[in-house]
Amino acid sequence: MLRRRGYWPSPVHVDAAVIQSEDASVRTVVVAVAANLLTAVAKGVAAVLTGSAAMLAETTHSVADTANEVLLYVGVRHGARPADDRHPLGYGQARYFWSLLAAVGIFVIGGLLAIADGIQSLRHPEPLTNVGVGVAVLLISAGLEGLSWRTAHRQLRAEANARHLDLGEYMAVSSDPTPTTVFLEDSAALVGLALALVRWCCTW
């Protein structure tokens, strides 16, 4: 069915399609790294200015997200290495290993940080202060995450259209986990930022 619907490119265009996809994945993950790093910097500055333990925890969380995106970048670069005597079929499968490490970081490290922050907030609740700073950081974070999300979405949409698949179908069968991981992680981050922004604005 996938061949009939045009999922498999013709042999003449296989190499060009692979190179183009790898370049797009590198661009997507570089944007994601930059967005998470700048988000961590913004949160860190806000933590220093306000002395908020919650903002400091958010800074740590964004640093962990940046490290996860770096793992994805390592996977893309390592997976693009040409075949050699030791790996005659190439290194393409390496990106799955590094994506797995990134997923572990997202769900385990990120989850543990979120749980620890929640427990700390319940045990030692902080009064909401410097609401303007908090809202500004949330808006900056949303803008940066949105840029990263848009980059990943564009790559996925272009590759899905080239294979005559809708976005969900393509994400289910794509051999490149990098843009899908970035897209889903950014989607979750944007939902979280939206909920946090609603809470802060209702309190302001």
Res 31: pLDDT: 95
Residue 2 maps to a domain? no
Number of domains present in the structure of the chain: 1
Q: If we measure between CA atoms, which residue out of 159, 154, 183 comes closest to residue 21?
A: 159
Mean pLDDT of 87-106: 79
Among the residue ranges 155-159, 177-181, 199-203, the one predicted with the least confidence is 199-203
Q: Is 1 a domain residue? A: no
Q: Regarding predicted confidence, which is higher, 31 or 113?
A: 31
Residue 129 — pLDDT band, cuts 50, 70, 90?
low
Q: What whole-number percentage of the chain has pLDDT above 90?
A: 29
Domain-embedded: residue 3 = no
Q: Is residue 4 part of a domain?
A: no
Q: Which residue has the higher pLDDT, 106 or 143?
A: 143
- CATH code, domain carrying 49: 1.20.1510
Q: How far apart are CA 36 and CA 169, in angstroms?
A: 28
- What range does the domain containing 59 cover? 11-203
**What pLDDT is recorded for position 14?**
43
Answer with the residue of higher pLDDT: 102 or 155.
155
Contact yes or no for 80/22 (Cβ under 8 A): yes
Mutual angle of helices 53-79 and 14-50, in 10-degree steps: 160
CA distance 53 to 120: 9
Whether the predicted pLDDT of 2 surpasses 70: no
| Average pLDDT of the segment spanning 30-58 | 87
pLDDT band at 85 (very low <50, low <70, confident <90, very high): confident
